[in-house]
Every structure is written in C-alpha cells, then in structure tokens.
Structure 1
Amino acid sequence: MKPIKYWYLAIVSCLCYILVSELKIEWGFYLKPVYFIFFYAYYYSSTKKHNITLIVFHLSSLIAEIFFLLDLNLFFDEVLYFYMIAVFAMFLFFAPILKIRSQKITKEMLLEPVLGVLFAAYLIIHLLAVFYESVPNKSLFLIGGILLFIFTAVCSLIPLRHRSPHNYKTYIIAAALLIECITGFIHYYSLSIPIILSLLNIAICFHKAAATSYFVDVHNALNDQKDYI
C-alpha cells in the first residue's frame, strides 16, 4: 500500500477518535492504538526503515494520554513520567538535526522565535501558577513545566538554525503539545465541558500527525543534507 493511503487512514482514525470520545471517553481508548499503527505504517512505508525512537514517542505519549483521561489525579505521576519519556524521545530525534551546521542567524530572524518562546513561557508559568495547588505532586509538576518550556524553545530553535521547508512542523509540534497540556489541566481541574475535551483531542491528533510527518521529512532530508545547510 502506498504511504499516502496509510496517512489518510491515520487521519480518518484520528477523526473517529475525536468523535467517539465525545460520546464516551473510554470508547476513544480503543481507537488510539489504531491511529498509532497507521501513523507508524505511514512512516515505515515512506522510509522502508523501522524507527525505535518514533515507537517510543508514540507508545509513551499514548499511555500518558490514557492515564490522563482516566484519572489525572490518581495517575498524576504516571502521566508525567510517560510524558517525559515522550519528550526525551523527541529530543533524541532532534539531536542529529541540531548537530548539522547552522545557517547564519541575523537579528531580524530572531524576532518571531523569541516572541514565540516568550509567549510559551508566559502560558507555562500561568499554567503552573493556576494549577499548582491542585496537583498531587508539585515538584514533578514543576519539572514537567520546565521540560515543556525547554521542548518549546528547542522546537523554535530548529527552524532558526536550518532553512529546510519542513521545519515549520516543529512549531506545530510545540504548539499542539502546549495546547494539549493547557486544555488537559483545564478539563480535569477547572472546566469539564465537551468543547475543552474536543480541543484536547484535536491537539493530541495534530501533535501525533505533525511529529510523524516530520520524522519522515527529516529521514529523507538527512540523506541529502544540503536541504539543511
């Protein structure tokens, strides 16, 4: 089967997951492995290679999301630990990109990434301040917030260092994860309404789709590094 067909199947699975989760959250759990399988099939059919880092990213984030939606307070530590594994898997994936020689960075190029990082820092600090007293493990919550900021900063650094046309996807990856975290905490601790849950699930799907697509783009581009110089 052609890669694009696996991609369409993954997107359809994501849409079904969002719709089914509106009816009952637990029903959506059965569709999470489905879109993971299709996303990974898309990666493999596109590159003809397996990728342990991508598997670890998808599985750890999938487990974190299930624990999150089951009962964040009860499984708070598990959610944060699996979330950290997923983030470190992305850092491992980013390492070869960051090692490639950087393009010349001018002052004009810094404005948008710096503003983006500052805005992300504001949102993360606000998230920590609002929900600090509600979470059961405050130190782990702070560590998770710091890691989220570092991840956002790295995602903003990559397009600044390299001119590959695919690097805009790192902004989507960072933004989707940020929205996922914010809407998740709002849904559990503050405002448990359907629209917040929908935004959370949409962010989850955008995050997975952008990350998988970027894994394929980077695999192809690293075979021809002139795209990154």
Structure 2
Amino acid sequence: MKFKYLVYLYIFAGVIEILLIGFHFNLSIYLRPVCVFLIYSFYVANVKKHNYFLLFYLTCELINEVFFLIDFSKYFVLVLTCYCLATFSMLYHIWPLVKRTSFKTNWSDLIRPFLGLLGILFIFWELILMVFKNLPNFYIFFPALVALLVWIFFCSIMPAKDKHPDNFALYFIGGSMAVMAPTMFIYEFLWSNSIILYLSLISMFLLKIFLVWYLINLDKILCSKEEYF
C-alpha cells in the first residue's frame, strides 16, 4: 500500500486530537476535519480516484462526532441522523460482495457469528432498558439501532461466508462500530467517565483506519480469481 505517510499523519493527528479532548476542547474539534482530510487523501492516493460515498460517510461521521462531543443530548437527532446516513451509505460499498456471496452453507460455518451477534444483541437490549427513559427522541433512536445491527450483521456474516483474507478487516470494522455506539450512550446517559469517552473516541478513530484500508483493497477482493467460499 502506497503513501503510508498519510495514514501515519492521520494516526499522529488522531492521537493528539484524542489526548486534547480533556485539555483543549476547541483545538481537538478543529483537528477532526484535518484527520478526515488525511484519511480520505490516503484512500484517493492509493486508488487514484474519488469516492463520493466514502466522502459522504466521512462527512456524516465528522458531524456525528463533533456534535456528540459538544452536547449529545441537545443535538441527539442530528447526531443519530448522521449516524444512520453514514452507516447505510457503507452498504453501497459491500453490496457487490453481498450479491456474489452464496448464503447456502452448513450451520457450523455460521454458529460463531450468530453466537457473537446474540451476545451483542443481549448487551444492546440491556443497555436500551437502562437508557430508554432518558432518550431525548425515540423516533430517531430505532432507525439508528437498525442501522447498527444491520451493519454488524454484515460485518459478522461476510467474512464467515467469503473467506478472502482481506475480509477479516470486516470483523474489526464491525467490532469498532459495536464499541463506538454503546459507549456514546453510556457516557451521555449512564456514566460520564473519561475512560468511557476515550474508549468511544478510540473506536471512532480505529473505525476509519480499518474501513479505508478495507475499501482500498475491495476491488482486489471482488476481482479475485480464487475461491474463498
């Protein structure tokens, strides 16, 4: 992969951005668009073309993260709307992979992903019961929850069905998302501890690295002549 200095700059700026959140809030916020520019430039430099769906995703995520940090409760609808748009826009990228994948299989191949999903669903259900009465808006919450579960479902099932080595990144993408979303709610509505906030910010930071790395390799995965099913 070329132009690695761009991702190194993104990592450096991202770490500074996270560390500054408790000391210089405004500077941390100003660094976020810089990080988006760096990670998107890393993608474009490698694939030699623009990806407006990725740019749309990164812009929605930027709005999501900034207004979560400013005041999640006040901007609840805006944050979750951007989250829904960002998450569903990523289905555009993996849909060609979904279409070519056969879902006829032995249950033994799917038992681990399903057990993992059941565990995640149980945790989310318990979290929902704890925060539901405190939510500023119920109507946007459920589309956001559906977006999260759909994305985690595909990130869990696709690597189990299409065993191309690069599809392993989907586990990291789904895992980052599975950490990011609950910790945002835990921090805002249950336990405003800095450890929870940093865990959420780190998952946001890692999600972009895994996602962009995966999208850079996606054409190679789709054009692979080998059978991984």
TM bin (shorter chain): over 0.9
Q: Does 1:71 align with 2:54?
A: no
Conserved? CA contact 2:166–2:221, under 8 Å? no
Structure 1 match to 2:81 = 81
Amino acid at match of 2:117: V
1:150-183 superposed Cα distances (whole Å, 9 cap, x missing partner): 2111111111221111112111111111211111
Give unpaired runs (5+ residues) of structure 2: none
Counterpart-to-counterpart distance in 1, 2:175 and 2:211: 12
TM-score, scaled to structure 2:
0.93
2:175 matched to 1:192?
no
Alignment-mate amino acid for residue 37 of structure 2: I
1:154 counterpart SS class: helix
CA positional deviation for 1:210: 0.9
Cα gap change, 1:225/1:17 in structure 2, threshold over 3 Å: closer, same or farther? farther
Range 219-228 or range 175-184, more displaced:
219-228
Are positions 1:151 and 2:151 aligned together?
yes
Where in structure 1 do 4 or more consecutive aligned residues deviate above 4 Å? none
Tell me the alpha carbon deviations over residues 121-154 of structure 1, each in whole angstroms, 9 at most, x when there is no partner: 1122122211111011112212221221121111
1:56 aligns with 56
More displaced 10-residue stretch of structure 1: 84-93 or 99-108: 99-108
Q: Deviations over 1:15-44 (max 9, x none)?
A: 111111132333211111111111111111
Equivalent AA in structure 1 for residue 149 of structure 2: F
2:88–2:147: 8 Å Cα contact kept in structure 1? no
CA RMSD between the two structures = 1.8
Match of 1:201 in 2: 201
**1:142–1:110 CA distance, 2 compared to 1 (3 A):** same
For residues 78-126 of structure 1, the C-alpha deviation after alignment (integer angstroms, 9 at most, x for no partner) is: 0111001101111111111111143863332112111111111112212
Name the SS of the counterpart of 1:14 in structure 2. helix
CA distance in 2 between counterparts of 1:94 and 1:154 reads 9
Matched, 1:211 2:211: yes
Moved more, 123-132 or 59-68: 123-132
Aligned residues: 229
Distance 1:146 1:227 in 2: 32
Q: In 1, are the aligned partners of 2:6 and 2:39 still within 8 Å (CA)?
A: yes
State the identity as a percent: 29
Partner of 2:14: 14
Aligned twin of 2:31 = 31
CA contact (8 A) 1:221 1:228 kept: no
1:110 corresponds to: 110
